[in-house]
Amino acid sequence: MQGRHVGEEGEIMTVGKACTRIVVTTHPEETVQEVAKRMAQYDVGTLIVVEAHKPVGIITDRDLVLRVMAKGLRPQELTARVAMTGNPVCVSEYTALEEAIALMRGYQVRRLIVVNAKKELVGILSLDDLLLLLGEEQQAVAGLMRAARSRRE
């Protein structure tokens, strides 16, 4: 299994094991002003737009700036549906991390929405999550190298 991320128990690392499970959401008909307030309340820059537990869009603080503020539109009159990116890139929680990375690269996105078999929202996988995981793996390898070196000395 060369090139695969393998967890402590030897199984392939999946998106579901690496993603953030606590996700702040909004409804498509909520106002952009309420979306911004929720982002501030939870100190996040991304909300997942859901209907019936299924993701229908994603909205970022950057979306608010470019699609609303820069155009001089009124956030209290626009809905999340207008400012969101629809048809977000979703991935199964059982997808291997390598495949998730390839999807991010292919779609040129920094976040993947993680869904279960019913296509319901269960988490979000961000580039930051992946970088954190890779950093932890590098630290583990460095520890092994130090242990091997000390045994030789």
The per-residue pLDDT for range 65-106, each reduced to its tens digit, is 999 999 999 999 999 999 999 999 999 999 999 999 999 999
Residue 54 has pLDDT above 80, yes or no: yes
Does domain 15-152 fall under CATH 3.40.50.800? My reply is no
User: Which residues contact residue 49 at a Cβ distance below 8 angstroms, ignoring those fewer than 6 apart?
Assistant: 25, 26, 27, 28, 55, 56, 57, 58, 59, 80, 81, 84
To which residue do tokens 């590098």 refer? 138
- Token pair recorded at residue 118: 């019913």
From 32-41, 100-109, 138-147, the region with the lowest mean pLDDT: 138-147
Rounded CA gap, 71 and 152, in Å? 65
| Rounded average pLDDT over 33-61 | 97
Q: What is the pLDDT of residue 69?
A: 94
Q: Where are the domains of the chain?
A: 15-152
Chain center to CA of 121: 11
Give the pTM: 0.82
